[in-house]
Amino acid sequence: MFKRSLLVAAMLLVMAGVSSSAWGEDRPNSQVSDGTQLIKIVIRDEAPYFSPKRQQISRGMTVIWENQGPALIHTIFINTAFGEVHSGSIKPGESFRYKFSDEDDAVVKTSCEVHPYMYGVLLVGHPPVSLIAAVESEVKGSAAPVLSARLREFSLPVKDSVPGIVAIDSEDAVWFTMGGGGFANINLPPLNLVGKLTADGDIVTYALPTPGSGPSGLTVGRDGLVYVTEFFGNKIAKLNARQRVVEEFSIPTPDAWPTGLALDASGNLWFNETNGNKIGRLSPDGRIKEFPVPTFAARSTGLATDAEGSVWIAERDGNKIGCLRRDETFVEYSIPTPNSKPTAIIVDSKQRVWFSEREGNKIGTIENGEIREYALPRPYSGPFSLWSDRDERIWFTEIFGSRIGVLNPAAGSINEYELSRTDSWPAGLAMDSQGSLWFSSQLQNRVCALVVGGPKDGMKVETSAPGHPVAQPAHDPGLDASAEKARRE
């Protein structure tokens, strides 16, 4: 008798990679020593991710998932009627095998726990068509309208720099972190770089003093000073590009993992200690004070300040939004959607708090102490960074869906702009004075600008020197920086 069982496998992977393959490669069938049939499925960092994408196997077969990278570490998780199976970390060049039951027909969707749009399907035995259709349709959203825009892409001169957080200074120069890998399952060496794309078309990379410090967060003050959280360096860096000086401040808590940061009206720099479970404050005189987060292991990431001097944080693993008030009391708001993984947080001009729910696939807001959530049109989009424009619209990157979205709170509507590649993994987000929306493309190692209202037939893409440096570097001895020329038009 057919047992209507559904096995779901989840693969955990984060950030960039640069390899691709055609479907149908690497499908050897063989036998293991006990006579069991065996099939290999290759996992790669770029589309179609699984090869073969869809495969029929017999009951009792053994499947090997082989990670061919080149950069990401994967984790296979299989949930069966008999319990959970975890592979542990599968580095590039390693593999994991699992033998399926001799008794059940099933549909197995192997997908990414953090990036669920990366998926493959295994048909075990002879499950009914209705069950196959139900599983395969789960990851497919409704078709979205084609919106007009122009996309400008700027290739970065440093390979595998994994550009992350983006900020705009008063001269419309675009600043961004170039932290490399070493965290979030990225099997690449960490870097210690910060990049700047000027209005004149120069790309300048600044090396921070601590090697491999992994810049993770960045903001620019009104005075032009650039502040950077150094994830592995456990420091805050203050960069004065005009004077060619970098000053670093060590965080008292070891291995604090500093991430999101923001300045307040008094010039204090606030930052999250994701692993230290604290909020840090760097005062203008260089002193650091730390404030514990009430929820244990909250793993806070995004951080913002409001006009009253309160500090807001997105408690990623605590599934809460926290608020440290000026009187140093702490308030937390539980998010209605379970395990939503709040990531970024901003405060708009009306002092409304907005946050992204990476796994909840929603944009949330807190107004008058109440949380409201807006669901994205398509599943597994992964809303990440946020920006509020002059019209109070909320823009966001979709790190899993490779789209840029915009929420109009007044109408309750969401529009989305498809990027040129499905493997862009857009992260940081900021808008310049001309209304161009700048974001980092982690997987493609680029910084991009979305200019809305471009061609009527969808997205027009302009790329500067794709795949290689734009020009030879010029050395800046004062800051150990390198400059690269790019064409901005």
Distance CA 114, CA 154 (A): 27
Please, are residues 416 and 141 in contact by the beta-carbon 8 Å criterion? no
* Six-digit token string for 147: 């919106």
State yes or no: cis peptide before 52, omega within 30 of 0. Answer: yes
| Cβ-based burial of 84 (10 A; exposed 0-12, middle 13-18, buried ≥19) | exposed
Instruction: Domain of residue 448: give its range.
Output: 149-485
* Six-digit token string for 227: 């502040």
Tell me whether strands 5-11 and 50-51 are parallel, antiparallel or unpaired: unpaired
Please, are residues 194 and 178 in contact by the beta-carbon 8 Å criterion? yes
Number of Cβ within 10 Å of residue 284's Cβ equals: 9
Please, are residues 132 and 123 in contact by the beta-carbon 8 Å criterion? yes
**Structure-token match 């915009």, residue found:** 406
- What pLDDT is recorded for position 433? 92
Examine the domain organization and report whether 336 and 357 are in the same domain.
yes
Examine the domain organization and report whether 124 and 196 are in the same domain.
no
Examine the domain organization and report whether 162 and 122 are in the same domain.
no
**Structure-token match 């033998």, residue found:** 99
| 37 in a structural domain | yes
Closest of 400, 407, 404 to residue 425, by C-alpha: 400
What phi, psi does 411 have (nearest 5°)?
A: -95, -15
CATH number at residue 34: 2.60.40.420
When computed from its CA atoms, the radius of gyration of the chain, rounded to whole angstroms, is 23
Examine the domain organization and report whether 125 and 236 are in the same domain.
no
What is the tally of structural domains in the chain?
2
Distance CA 215, CA 162 (A): 10
Distance CA 460, CA 419 (A): 10
Examine the domain organization and report whether 236 and 369 are in the same domain.
yes
| Cβ-based burial of 169 (10 A; exposed 0-12, middle 13-18, buried ≥19) | buried
Distance CA 74, CA 77 (A): 10
Distance CA 316, CA 176 (A): 22
Please identify, among 89, 111, 137, the residue that sits at the C-terminal boundary of a domain: 137
Examine the domain organization and report whether 322 and 446 are in the same domain.
yes
Please identify, among 72, 106, 137, the residue that sits at the C-terminal boundary of a domain: 137
**Structure-token match 């401040």, residue found:** 249
Contacts of 177 (CB under 8 A, 6+ apart): 163, 164, 165, 193, 194, 195, 215, 216, 217, 218, 228, 428
- What pLDDT is recorded for position 2? 32
Please, are residues 65 and 76 in contact by the beta-carbon 8 Å criterion? yes
Examine the domain organization and report whether 113 and 164 are in the same domain.
no
Examine the domain organization and report whether 129 and 232 are in the same domain.
no
Examine the domain organization and report whether 172 and 250 are in the same domain.
yes
- What pLDDT is recorded for position 71? 75
Distance CA 218, CA 178 (A): 10
- What pLDDT is recorded for position 116? 60
Examine the domain organization and report whether 97 and 240 are in the same domain.
no
Q: In the chain, which residues have pLDDT < 50?
A: 1-28, 33, 466-489
Examine the domain organization and report whether 412 and 450 are in the same domain.
yes
**Structure-token match 């017999």, residue found:** 58
- What pLDDT is recorded for position 19? 26
- What pLDDT is recorded for position 479? 46
CATH number at residue 435: 2.130.10.10
Phi and psi based region of residue 433 (left: phi greater than 0; alpha: psi -120 to 50; beta: remaining): alpha
**Structure-token match 């004070």, residue found:** 289
Distance CA 397, CA 447 (A): 13
Whether the full predicted model's pTM is greater than 0.85, yes or no, is no
* C-alpha neighbours within 13 Å on the C-beta side of residue 371: 18
Please identify, among 137, 171, 189, the residue that sits at the C-terminal boundary of a domain: 137
| 143 in a structural domain | no
Please, are residues 231 and 215 in contact by the beta-carbon 8 Å criterion? yes
Closest of 98, 123, 107 to residue 32, by C-alpha: 98
Closest of 384, 376, 391 to residue 452, by C-alpha: 391
Tell me whether strands 149-155 and 459-464 are parallel, antiparallel or unpaired: parallel
Examine the domain organization and report whether 241 and 379 are in the same domain.
yes
What phi, psi does 133 have (nearest 5°)?
A: -65, -40
